[in-house]
Amino acid sequence: MLISNMEIVPGKTVVKHLGLVQGSTVRAKHIGRDLMASLKNIVGGELKGYTELLEDARREAVERMTAQAESIGANAVLNVRFSTSSVAQGAAELFAYGTAVVLE
Amino acid sequence: MTGQILNLILFLVLLLVGFIAGRLAESSHYRSIRAREKALAKILVFSERLPPPMHPAPASRLVSGSAVISVDYFKRFVAGLRMIFGGRLGSYETLLDRARREAVLRMKEEAMRKGAIQVCNVKFATCPISSGTKDGVKCVEVLAYGTALIPRR
């Protein structure tokens, strides 16, 4: 499965367009991490725990999107976009969407 | 009365710790950013929608990098004062600058691991993260993503 955020793939042609596919996940951070983060918040700097958490969540969103694309018989997802929104206090939704296509 | 004095002392200590530790952390982060930017300078990054024509056609892969950076206690306090008068918030500008450059560097590192020479169609997504209470964690996440072009030999 090829994933790209360009509309084309160099050297290949799109033979079939299968429409929008999407994947999303909602994550909350756990209290231990939050506590460490609030301590870290005094001195500033990177919050590694949060970076990892969001990266994991994003990977899962992409996996769900890929699974949906596979189920409809695509072999690539093009023009992929990411968006993040906080649905509740302390929880965030990570959303990935793109166009499923068949490449040749 | 003693409670108020204790609170004041705690506030001043936090301010001092934030000022010293935050300043040290920021300058060391900027040093590391500059060094890595120099090391990764040969990977070109474009926000162009389409890749330049290349022959033979390169392989393409999605690459991304993200960083969550928070601002220290002292800077947050200064920014709070600044909000009264308005104007430039220098302390938040460096926060976003650091987060963005770090995210781009991580994206470039991933591209390098995959053997790419350039990254096209780079997009940024910025999301503020803050939890529950007013004094909760305040930080910002920046995600940079793009398509890495890997030359075929």
> If you average pLDDT over every residue of chain A, what do you get?
88
Q: Give contacts of B 1-40 with A, CB under 8 A.
A: 14, 17-18, 21-22, 25-26, 29
Are A19 and A95 in contact, with CB atoms under 8 Å apart? no
- State how many domains chain B has: 1
Rounded to an integer, the average pLDDT of A28-48 is 76
Closest Cβ–Cβ partner in A34, A82, A90 for B125: A82
Give me the total of CB pairs closer than 8 Å, taking one residue from chain A and one from chain B. Answer: 131
CB contact under 8 A, B131 and A29: yes
pLDDT of residue B131: 59
Structural domain spans, chain A: 2-103
| The pLDDT of residue B47 is above 70 | yes
pLDDT of residue B137: 60
Q: What is the CATH number of the domain that holds B107?
A: 3.30.110.70
Average pLDDT over residues A21-44: 79
- Put simply, the chain B residues between 43 and 82 with a CB less than 8 A from any chain A CB are 49-51, 54, 56-58, 60-62, 64, 66-73, 75
Alpha helices in A44-98 (DSSP H): 48-71
Higher pLDDT, B11 or A21: A21
Model confidence at B76, pLDDT cuts 50, 70, 90, reads confident
| pLDDT score, position B75 | 87
B83 against A35, higher pLDDT: B83
Fold of A2-103: Translation Initiation Factor IF3 (3.30.110)
Residue in A3, A7, A42 nearest the CB of B18: A42
Region A62-91 average pLDDT: 90
pLDDT band of B79, cuts 50, 70, 90 = confident
CA distance A32 to chain B (A): 13
- Give the residue on B whose Cα is nearest the Cα of A4: B62
pLDDT at B134: 54
- Is 80 exceeded by the pLDDT of residue B138? no
Q: Please report which residue ranges of A12-47 form alpha helices under DSSP H.
A: 31-43
Evaluate if residue B77 carries a pLDDT over 90.
no
Q: What is the pTM of this model?
A: 0.88
**Mean pLDDT score, B120-136:** 75
Share of chain A above pLDDT 90, in %: 52
The answer to whether the beta carbons of residues A51 and B67 sit under 8 Å apart is: yes
The Cα B68–Cα B27 span in angstroms is: 17
Structural domain containing residue B21: 2-150
Handedness of CA B92, B93, B94, B95 (dihedral sign): positive
The neighbour count for residue A38, using CB atoms within 10 Å, is: 17
Q: Do the Cβ atoms of A78 and A9 come closer than 8 Å?
A: yes
pLDDT tier, B63 (very low <50, low <70, confident <90, very high otherwise): very high
Measured CA distances, B43 to A62, B59, B148 (Å): 25, 15, 10
